[in-house]
Amino acid sequence: MDLLKNASKKLAQQRGPSFYGDERAFIPPEKLYDENDAKISLNMAKNVLKVAKRLLIESKPINN
């Protein structure tokens, strides 16, 4: 659950700047983020998906 909490918090904080940049400093998003940032975010999202799938599978009721 820590993985979900940390990824959610990090990605939520980055969402606005990744779309709009730093509006106060007039820095566009492509100057704030690079390919490595994208790889890190993608890896976080993949890990969240893996955990979510596992939780769904484990929470399914067993039909007799």
Q: pLDDT digits over 27-62, tens only?
A: 999 999 999 999 999 999 999 999 999 989 988 776
Answer yes or no: is 64 within a domain.
Answer: no
Answer yes or no: is 42 within a domain.
Answer: yes
Answer yes or no: is 40 within a domain.
Answer: yes
Answer yes or no: is 24 within a domain.
Answer: yes
The pLDDT of residue 62: 67
pLDDT band at 64 (very low <50, low <70, confident <90, very high): low
The count of structural domains within the chain is 1
pTM: 0.73
Answer yes or no: is 20 within a domain.
Answer: yes
Mean per-residue pLDDT, 3-13: 91
In our burial notation (b when 16+ CB lie closer than 10 A, e otherwise), range 30-46 reads eeebeeeeeeebeebee
Determine the structural domain holding residue 51 and report its residue range: 2-59
The pLDDT of residue 60: 76
